[in-house]
Amino acid sequence: MLRIVSLDQAQRFITRKAVRLAEAEQIVAPILENVRKRGDEAVLEYARKFDGLQGTDLAVPESELEAAVGRVAPEFKKALETAAKNIREFAELQLPKETWFTFPDGRRLGQIIRPLESMGAYIPAGRYPLPSTLLMTVIPAQVAGVKTICITSPRPSVEILAAAWLLNEPNVFRIGGAQAIAAFAFGTATVPKVDRIVGPGNIYVAAAKKLLAGDVGIDFVAGPTEIVIIADDADPRHVAADMLAQAEHDVEASAILLTTSQSLAENVVQEVERQLQTLPTAPVAREAIMNNSAVILCPSIDAAVEASNRLAPEHLAIYDASLLPKIQHAGSIFIGPSSPEAAGDYASGPNHVLPTSGAARIRGGLSAADFVKIISVQELTFDGLSQLAPAITTLARAEGLEAHARSVEVRLGG
């Protein structure tokens, strides 16, 4: 059953659990090295061993992708179109823009935007195949203008294959785990080397991304999914449903309600238990609720916000919009009773690939900006350089870099 604890008793819930990657790193390190040395041969061996791959083809043929579209329900295709439209609209809003500024002292400064040339999207297909993650990873890259987009999934469902085809992205590979991350990082005869790898995965995928973060760009190292809800006055049915929506992902998932209301706390506990009775995913959700989740009674709403900021949750739901200015750390925020976290998971537009394990302290969710480079540009007039010369040469000589100073003076006749 979901427990109720006071804030001073809730240390283990508001202190970030360490992501246990060390053991996983030891397991995946030889896999990464083997793929680096042996390429497709090693990837194929691991795909057969871990993913149950039949045959010798790592790449999914285009004919299979096209056929998948005919096998999915019309309702799925319509839902995909709705979600894709909204995700694309939001990604376009997030894309950095080229800008230029001309200053009266002779400086013309700006930034230009250039897309990465390639990316790899990892799409989970274990207990829950996630075509929505394909949309969330591929569409921002398309908006950014990435030329080569690759998708990998260990056992892609027909919905994942159909989504890839409907997005006009045929580079799909039937591999998963650390071997897929290594293939993208190093490149093989079949799998292109990419500039950035994005998308969630299990602990072995996370460990591989961490170890290869110098060889290839990554989004972040993902841990178990999580939600924090801050509410004093809310429908307990809604709160319970949102907690269970997170808990059903994985037995390691976490769902936390921060509240000052004893009655809301008790009603949510009862609602969680009632809803579990008919939830098909109850075996997973119940374990996550029992082991990693809680209702935490706080002495004040400010104390609740402080606890949330300490946790830096992946998902944060607030029922009072006036709290927003006080929120410092969160992957994505959902405001009010009509904004369930599931809306963001699928179709409202913002990305559902979000930082976990406290990474929301340093970044937000995946966006089109992750697939571009912002390159600064500067152009100085002769007068502009002349005005800056004393500052440049003084600083250069203070650092002992005489050639820097002379590179300015030679232009000014010095």
Of 249, 315, 329, 352, which is the active-site residue?
315
Question: Tokens 């390190």 appear where?
Answer: 29
Contact in structure between 254 and 341 (CB atoms under 8 Å): no
Contact in structure between 289 and 257 (CB atoms under 8 Å): no
SS (H, E, C) 124-187: CCCCCCCHHHHHHHHHHHHHHCCCEEEEECCCCCHHHHHHHHHCCCCCEECCCHHHHHHHHHHC
Distance CA 231, CA 255 (A): 13
Of 25, 159, 271, 314, which is the active-site residue?
314
Contact in structure between 312 and 217 (CB atoms under 8 Å): no
- Please list the alpha-helical segments (H only) found in 187-300: 203-211, 236-247, 262-276, 282-292
Query: Residue-wise over 189-199: b if at least 16 C-beta within 10 A, else e?
Result: eebbbbbbbbb
Distance CA 222, CA 231 (A): 27
The pairing of strands 3-6 and 294-297 is parallel
Is 315 considered catalytic here? yes
Would you call 103 helix, strand, or coil by DSSP? coil
The pairing of strands 372-380 and 107-115 is antiparallel
The pairing of strands 107-115 and 99-102 is antiparallel
User: What residues act catalytically?
Assistant: 314-315
